[in-house]
Amino acid sequence: MKTISRILSLTITKEYYRQNAIFIFAIMMVSFGFLRAEEHKTIIKSALNLPSLLVLIFIGWALHALKVILFCLRMFESKNNEFLYNIRLFSPLKRYIALGLMQFSLLQLTILYSLWMIKIGIEQNKIIETSSIIGFNFLSIIAGIIIYEYRIKHPNVVRASPKRIQNLLSRFRTPPYLFFIRYLFAKQPVLLLISKLFTCLILIGVCCLYPTDLYDERLLAIGGLIAAAGHTVFCQQFFNYENQFLSFNRNLPLSLQQRILGYFLTYSLLLIPEFIVILRNLPDGVSYLFAFQLIIFVLSMIFLNHHTQYINGISADIYLQRLFFAGILFLFLIMFKILVFLISIINFSLAIFIFQKNY
């Protein structure tokens, strides 16, 4: 069992935390950098007394669990990890325990927070609510074990393409800046849905949190930073999509301005849900001008994130390390009240310079 657990830890668990380092760092900063222990206790007590709020928390945890499960399935299906299917040579009990430990290690952030909720629930004699939290965590782990076990026993599953969607999309001529978005809807709809739900919920959360204390616009900017970090997966998917399906694009007679405009339109369209969420939930006292600057700020970080991938010879590890430290830098700039619009201009300028030099 130790052998299986170590293999899964090195190939999946470690890779998950490596790829989501900025996302986890941003969550920790918002959760424990701005919210005090008393505020967390207030939220937990409210959730234990309001079933609707507890359900919302469960939905957030379920989305996180789904994100983890989809990541693990992608890792199992990767050609580099085909050796993982040999795990089925071990006894079922060892497989179940190893897969359960892997799922626990991937969900440990939500599970550790739920332990705090369970402690307070026991103190307040909330037996039903506490039992539901415990049951939900067990269900998340068991669901992961069942899904991973099925994938191990059924490798190389051929999925039927959604013919209705394909037939509907084939009737329309797609402009170049919609190629990637169409690919996401056709091939990665679950990833698109989960990522958009996460970023929109983060923005809704910071907008609702804003009037509860003496916060300023920096809180909204940090929410924008987390939303931009949530789009890292799209930047990586876009880069891989270009290399796999649009490798001929570099030989087309397109000017630098046309290429930059194409990327700008693609990511601008991807950010429409976040823009709507910001406008609909904009706190009182925050101007629409800042809301526009905020969405431009998010767009500029995504833009820079995408174009740094064109740097010649940059490995995945170095790319993620730079991404992590860039996130810390942006956080400090926000905390020192540097104008987000000024940061946006610098981001766009750097992205264009990097693209022109390395594309």
Does pTM top 0.75 for this prediction? Answer: no
pLDDT, tens digit, 9 for 90 and up, residues 223-277: 899 889 888 888 888 988 888 888 888 888 888 899 999 999 999 999 999 999 9
pLDDT, tens digit, 9 for 90 and up, residues 293-303: 999 999 999 99
Q: Is the pLDDT of residue 15 over 50?
A: yes
H-helix or E-strand spanning residue 236: helix 232-245
| Degrees, nearest 5: CA angle 164-168-170 | 115
Half-sphere exposure of 15 (CA within 13 A, CB side): 18
Average pLDDT over residues 153-157: 73
Q: What is the pLDDT of residue 198?
A: 82
Tell me the C-alpha distance between 299 and 212, whole Å.
27
Q: What is the pLDDT of residue 341?
A: 92
Q: What is the pLDDT of residue 98?
A: 92
| Structure tokens that stand for 288 in this block | 């629409």
| Degrees, nearest 5: CA angle 17-274-137 | 40
**Residue 1 contacts residue 98 (beta carbons within 8 Å):** yes
Residue/partner pairs of 208-212 with CB below 8 Å, 24 or more apart: 208/281, 209/34, 210/283, 210/286, 211/283, 211/284
**Residue 226 contacts residue 274 (beta carbons within 8 Å):** no
**Residue 143 contacts residue 68 (beta carbons within 8 Å):** no
| Structure tokens that stand for 39 in this block | 């505020």
pLDDT, tens digit, 9 for 90 and up, residues 161-218: 455 555 655 666 778 888 899 888 887 787 788 888 888 888 888 888 888 777 788 8
Angle between helices 189-209 and 51-77 in degrees, nearest 10: 140
Identity of the highest mean pLDDT range in 67-71, 102-106, 177-181, 326-330: 102-106
Q: Is the pLDDT of residue 357 over 70?
A: yes
